[in-house]
Structure 1
Amino acid sequence: MDFEPPPMRTVTCNNVDIPYLAYDGDGPPVVLLHATGFLPWLWHPVAALLAPAHRVIAPFFGNHRPSDPRNGGLDWLQLARDLERLCTALQVQDPVLVGHSMGGTVSILAHVTLGVAVRHMVLIEPIFLPAEIYRMKITVEEHPLAAKAMRRRNSWPDREAVRADFMAKPFFRNWDPAVFELYITFGIRNDPAGGVRLTCPPEQEAALFMGGGHHDPWPLLPAVQCPTLVMEGEDSENRPWIDLTHAANLIPRGRHIMLSGAGHLIPMERPGEVGRALAGPVLSVKC
C-alpha cells in the first residue's frame, strides 16, 4: 500500500449520520460494503489498488444506528435504505457494488428491493441462509453468531494486549498482515474510562446478526439485472449450509468462482486477489 486510509467523513441522510471513507478518482464508482461487525478500513488494501482510477466509497454500517439485539436487531433492509440514501447524497450513480458477507446481502436488497441501479455486483461469501431459517423466530441466545458476539471480550489495557490476544486466536491466523494491523488500529478505540474497546461493540454486532433474519434473499436473485460475480472460499465454514453455486445460477448473469485455500474472510485473507479481480474484467463490464 502506498498511502494510509483517508480520514472518515460523514453525510447526514434522513437525520442519521452515516460515516464513510472516500477515495477520489475519475473512473466508475465502486462501493465497498463490509461484513457484520467489521469496518470499512479493512477494505483499504483493495481500495488502494482501485484508486485513483476509480472513485471508491466504503461506508461504515456498524455504529450509526445503535440497535437492540433482543428487539429484532438492525434490519438489513434498513442498511440497504441507508446505502441508497448515501449514494444519492454523494451523487454515486451506477456503482460497482462489492459486498462481503452481510454487505453482499445488503447489496441484493438495495438493488432488487429498492431498485438501486448497479453497474456490476461482486458478492463475496454473501449470507444467503437456508430459506426455512427466515421463517423461524429465534432469540439472541438461540442465534449461534449473535450469542457468540454477545460473549465477545471487549476490554484490554492497550492495543499491544489486543494484538497479543488476537494473534493467539485461530480466527486471525490467515489474515493478511496489513489488514490485521488495520484492524488493530481502527477496530479498537480508546475507552474514556481507561484501556481500549472494540469499535463495533458486542451488543451492536449481535444486533446486526439478528437483523439478517428479516428478509429472505433467495426469491430476489432471479431479479438481479446486472452482471454478478459470486466469490466463495474453498475452506469457508459456511459451505455446508450456504449453496453459493446455486445462488450464482439463479442470477441471470451470475458467475461463481471458488478461491482455493481461502475461508469466509476473503477480503481479510486475500485482499490482493480481490483488488486484482475488481480492477480487471469486473470494472470493464456494463450492466
Structure 2
Amino acid sequence: MNSVVRETPARRELPLPDGAISYLEWGAGEPGKAPLHFAHANGFNGFTYRRILSGLSDQFHVRAWDARGHGETTLTADPARHRNWYVYRDDLIAMAEDFKQATGKKIILAGHSMGGTASVMAAAARPDLVRGIALFDPVMIPTAARIVMLMSQLLRRRGNPLADGAEKRRAVFADRQTMVDRYEGRGAFRTWPRGFLEDYVEGGTKPREDGQIELSCAPAWEAANFRAQGHNITTAARNLHVPFALVRAERGSTCRPPFPMLLKRRDPAAHVMQVPGSTHFLPMEFPDVVAKEMRGFAARLEREGR
C-alpha cells in the first residue's frame, strides 16, 4: 500500500450564506497541476483519504472537502429537514466555482460513495465547471428500488438498516486512541488498515468541554443521509456530458445495474472496472488502485485534449 504522506494539507474555508465549507488543500500555487476535488462518503471526512490524496499532490492541485454536516464544515445540517442529496450537489457546485476561479481551469471531480453521487449530479448540472469525474463505488440505486425504500419508510413498514445502525452509533469517547482501538477490525471498519482508521478519527472528531471527544458528523445526520433518497440519480446519469472513470466494489457494491452500462453509454471510452476482493470501502482496502485510476484518468483527459 502506498501510504507516503508527501505534504501536510492546509485547512481552508469557503464561506457560504449559511456557514462555511471546510476543506483540505495540497499543491496550491504550483503551476501546471490539474485541479482535483475529492468528495468523501457519508459519515467520513476529507482527512480520511489523506494517505491517497497526499500521494497525488505531486501531479494534482488537490482539494478535499468536509461535506455539510461533517468534519469542520459549519453549514446548516438539520436531520429533520433533510430529504435528498441535492444539497451536496449544490455545495459541490459552489466548491467547483471557487476552485475554477482560483485556478482558471475546469475541475476533475472524484468521490467515494455519497461523494461520487454528488459528483455525478454536480457534473450533470454544471459541465462548464467539470473536466471529468472519477467515481469509486458511488451510491447509484435504480429508481424502482429507491421508490420502494421511500414508500416503505413513509408507511413505516420496515426500517432502513444502514440508517438505523448509524442512529445508534456511539458518538462520545474518552479520546481518539480509545475510539481507534474500539473500531479496529470491527463492523464497517474490519477491512481498514489502521492508518486510514486513525485519519478518519482525527478528521471526524472534535473535543468536548468535559475533555472527551465527539463525532463531528452527528449520528442523526449520518442516518438522515441514508434515508434522504429523494434525489434522482438516474436523471443525472442520463444528463452526464463529461468523461468519467468508474471503479466498483466486488462485494456489496452500491453502484448497481443498470448504472455501469448506463454510464458507459454516456462515455464509451470510459474505463469501468470491478476490483477483485473489494468491498464498498475499496479506497481504504486498495488505495494504490484508486491513485492509479486517478492518474490514468487524468492522462486520458490530456490525450484527448480535454
TM-score after normalising by structure 1? 0.89
Return the alpha-carbon distance in structure 1 between the equivalents of residues 130 and 82 of structure 2: 29
Q: Displacement of 1:66 after TM fit?
A: 3.6
Is the Cα–Cα contact under 8 Å of residues 37 and 110 in structure 2 kept in the other structure?
yes
Return the alpha-carbon distance in structure 2 between the equivalents of residues 88 and 51 of structure 1: 21
Give 5+ residue unaligned stretches, structure 2.
none
Q: Displacement of 1:208 after TM fit?
A: 2.3
Q: Percent identity?
A: 24
1:144 alignment counterpart: 161
1:2 alignment counterpart: 5
Compared with structure 1, are the counterparts of its residues 116 and 197 closer, same or farther at alpha carbon in structure 2 (3 Å cutoff)? farther
Out of 215-224 and 147-156, give the one that drifted further. Answer: 215-224
Q: Deviations over 1:126-185 (max 9, x none)?
A: 111121244334259723222221111112212222122101414222213321221232
Is the Cα–Cα contact under 8 Å of residues 244 and 256 in structure 1 kept in the other structure?
no
Return the alpha-carbon distance in structure 2 between the equivalents of residues 2 and 122 of structure 1: 22
Return the alpha-carbon distance in structure 1 between the equivalents of residues 295 and 259 of structure 2: 23
Return the alpha-carbon distance in structure 1 between the equivalents of residues 138 and 242 of structure 2: 16
Return the alpha-carbon distance in structure 1 between the equivalents of residues 257 and 160 of structure 2: 16
Is the Cα–Cα contact under 8 Å of residues 127 and 242 in structure 1 kept in the other structure?
no
Equivalent residue for 2:260, pick from 245, 256, 265: 245
Is the Cα–Cα contact under 8 Å of residues 23 and 57 in structure 1 kept in the other structure?
yes
Equivalent residue for 1:202, pick from 219, 224, 228: 219
Q: Displacement of 1:259 after TM fit?
A: 0.5
Is the Cα–Cα contact under 8 Å of residues 251 and 280 in structure 2 kept in the other structure?
yes
Compared with structure 1, are the counterparts of its residues 237 and 95 closer, same or farther at alpha carbon in structure 2 (3 Å cutoff)? closer
Q: Does 1:167 align with 2:179?
A: no
Q: Does 1:226 align with 2:229?
A: no
Return the alpha-carbon distance in structure 2 between the equivalents of residues 69 and 146 of structure 1: 12
Q: Does 1:157 align with 2:174?
A: yes
Equivalent residue for 2:88, pick from 79, 89, 96: 79
Compared with structure 1, are the counterparts of its residues 82 and 62 closer, same or farther at alpha carbon in structure 2 (3 Å cutoff)? closer
Q: Deviations over 1:92-145 (max 9, x none)?
A: 531111111111111111111344532121111111112124433425972322
State the AA in 2 paired with 1:202.
Answer: P
1:120 alignment counterpart: 132
1:55 alignment counterpart: 61
Return the alpha-carbon distance in structure 1 between the equivalents of residues 146 and 126 of structure 2: 20
Is the Cα–Cα contact under 8 Å of residues 31 and 56 in structure 1 kept in the other structure?
yes
State the AA in 1 paired with 2:130.
Answer: V
Return the alpha-carbon distance in structure 1 between the equivalents of residues 216 and 138 of structure 2: 23
- List structure 1 segments (4+ residues) > 4 angstroms apart after TM superposition: 241-244
Compared with structure 1, are the counterparts of its residues 96 and 89 closer, same or farther at alpha carbon in structure 2 (3 Å cutoff)? closer
TM-score after normalising by structure 2? 0.83
State the AA in 2 paired with 1:61.
Answer: A
State the AA in 2 paired with 1:67.
Answer: A
Compared with structure 1, are the counterparts of its residues 236 and 250 closer, same or farther at alpha carbon in structure 2 (3 Å cutoff)? same
2:80 alignment counterpart: 70
Over aligned residues, Cα RMSD in angstroms? Answer: 2.4
Q: Displacement of 1:69 after TM fit?
A: 2.6
